[in-house]
Amino acid sequence: MPIASSLIARPALVKAAVRAYSAAAAAPSSSALKQRLSELIPVKSKEVADFRKAHANTVVDVFTVDQVYGGMRAIKGLVTETSLLDPEEGIRYRGLTLEDCQRLLPKAKGGSEPLPEGAFWLLLTGEVPTADQVKAVSEEWARRADVPKHVTDMIANFPPHLHAMSQLCAAVCALQSESKFAKAYAAGVKKTDYWSYTYEDSVDLIAKLPTIAAAIYRNIYKDGVVAPIDLSKDWSANFSHMLGFTDPQFTELMRLYLTIHADHEGGNVSAHTVHLVGSALSDAYLSFAGGMTGLAGPLHGLANQEVLIWLTELRKQVGDNVTKEKLREFVWNSLKSGKVVPGYGHAVLRKTDPRYMCQRVFAQKHLPNDPMFKLVSMLFEIVPDVLREQGKAKNPWPNVDAHSGVLLQHYGLTEMHYYTVLFGVSRALGVLSSLVWDRAFGLPLERPKSMTTQALKAYVEKQASVNKANMQAPEE
């Protein structure tokens, strides 16, 4: 039986309503995805075990003092099966480029963008699903989308000035009351079954995230009313509808956005945090909430806000009919004043971010005459050359954040402080897929060794002495 969950907002304000379906939440997965995963896990686990046994003492990497102080950049110290980021190629989901994903993953009827449900199947299994398999996942997620009343009440009573990401983190933590893994662990479940309960929590959480995210949006910016879940709609379509958008092109944008932001290998802040917290056997809710606190940072998920603020200010100063010469002059003056060009450069990539290009192609198809898109396109032609001339940027090319805000603004989602929540909903697909595999592999508590500067100096001095002695030793 469907049950209605009231979204009770601040006194005198609320109007609310999340209709949802919780009866199936405790039931086994109805799609074939979990069954397929159960077939793959023993095979992959044996492969990893055999590999570790054969190469347990093989050196993978050496690193420098500068890397130790420099955010551990490029140090190879994690295994993440779902995706791999190549500096020259960009991200690949299980070996597939984003262009491959756009071509191969199933699409909604009449749509041209991949369904994120298909990306989740791919990230979990390494296999491209059929349209029927993706449809089953969509239906299952819709059935699991109900959010408990204590969570909706909490969201409704948050003050509107509390940042949307703070609300998301708090709401996800409050959802932990529903954790199947936590209950199973307390009951003494076998370690070999950890992955199964982590999978159930992950699917429950992914299914509920659009409901939570929509409630946050409607509560902060609109009238508090959230449309009901429609069992016949896919994940992105329900999310768009609950946000209050009915334009089919916006729904297509959401399908694209939620797919291309889903994963970016395991070393970024949000992905690594989910893995780290999960290594303590914290459940999917607590692990994901930890990752979202990292995504909320200005150097991670908030970057698209900074890009849009910069673009808006730029447009005010130069207008809509700016010449390339004038824009080039503006960029140079900005750099000479000590500022950066937001949205350009990346910690790993050394080429244009494929996620940027996916969004650019979408804009060229659907909004070629949008003034902000024209400005972004002109910057794409100018900024890389300017940055190369300046000689400071290792990567002068645009990243994903240089484009996403412009698309959202075009369709009327203008509240830029909310954009990172969309990023978070998408990123759940990748980080929770990885979390399931962490438990399937039985990965241990993560505990790297840290050092003080004094200890590091002593180590370096000792190594220098050893090296000097080795160089001076007579040959036999």
| Active site members | 300, 346, 401
- With contact defined as beta carbons under 8 Å apart, do 152 and 215 qualify? yes
Question: Containing H/E element for 3?
Answer: strand 3-5
Q: Which DSSP symbol is given to 476?
A: -
Tokens read off for 324:
């390339």
Tokens read off for 375:
């400005």
Query: What are the φ and ψ backbone dihedral angles of 86, each rounded to 5 degrees?
Result: -95, 130
Tokens read off for 353:
């971010």
User: Which residue's entry shows tokens 């990401």?
Assistant: 165
Residues paired with 398 in a beta bridge: 344
Query: The sheet that has 83-86: what strands, in order across it?
Result: 83-86, 90-93, 96-97
Count of beta carbons in the 10 Å neighbourhood of residue 350: 15
| Burial tier of 296 (Cβ tally within 10 Å: 0-12, 13-18, 19+) | buried
Query: What are the φ and ψ backbone dihedral angles of 189, each rounded to 5 degrees?
Result: -60, 150
Query: What are the φ and ψ backbone dihedral angles of 474, each rounded to 5 degrees?
Result: -65, 145
Four-point Cα dihedral 100, 101, 104, 105, nearest 10? 180
SS3 300: coil
Task: Quote the CA–CA distance of 237 and 246 in Å, as a whole number.
Answer: 9
> Across the chain, which distance is largest between two alpha carbons, in Å?
90
User: Which residue's entry shows tokens 């793959």?
Assistant: 40
- Please name the amino acid found at residue 279: S
| Burial tier of 48 (Cβ tally within 10 Å: 0-12, 13-18, 19+) | middle
Residues paired with 4 in a beta bridge: 19
Tokens read off for 185:
């662990």
